[in-house]
Structure 1
Amino acid sequence: MTTPLPPVTEPDASARTCPGDERGPCAACRRPTHKYGRGAHSPLCEYCDAKAVQRWGRALRAG
């Protein structure tokens, strides 16, 4: 059984640890997240990033 996702008004873990000026909305669900993402890739929250990895694999990244 999977754990239910928190509401999109809840920021993901990356947004809780980054400075306020580096926060922004996830490109998919609009959840507050670290604008630049880990490794400076697309601004996806940890939940949407996990879905993208399941679908496309870790090797595919937007430039």
Structure 2
Amino acid sequence: MAAPVPPPTEPDASARICPGDQIGPCAACHRPTHKYGRGARSPLCEYCDAKAVERLGRKLRAD
């Protein structure tokens, strides 16, 4: 059984280790997550990313 997903008020694990100026909301659930660089938009937190991969498959991801 998978671990329960914490509420969106809890930051993503990536947000806990990156500088504060690189934290932004997840595009789907608005959980604080790592923006992957200055000016980056629409990141997904690890929970929403896992749902997208499950739904769409890993091949749609950029390499």
**Could you tell me how far apart the structure 1 residues matched to 2:7 and 2:42 are?**
21
Secondary structure of 1:59's counterpart equals: helix
TM superposition outliers: structure 1 runs of 4+ over 3 Å? none
Name structure 1 gaps, 5 residues minimum.
none
TM-score w.r.t. the length of structure 2 is 0.82
Evaluate the alpha carbon distance shift between residue 51 and residue 41 of structure 1 in structure 2; reply closer, same or farther with a 3 A threshold: farther
Q: Give the number of the structure whose residues are more often helix, by fraction.
A: 2
Amino acid at match of 1:49: D
Aligned to 1:26: 26
Cα deviation 1:3-59 (Å, max 9, x = unaligned): 21111010011000100000000000000000128xx78500000000000011111
Unaligned residue ranges in structure 2 (runs of 5+)? none
Q: Percent identity?
A: 80
* Counterpart code for 2:50: A
Q: Which amino acid aligns with 2:7?
A: P
Q: Is the 8 A contact 2:23 2:35 kept in 1?
A: yes
Residue 45 of structure 1: aligned partner:
45
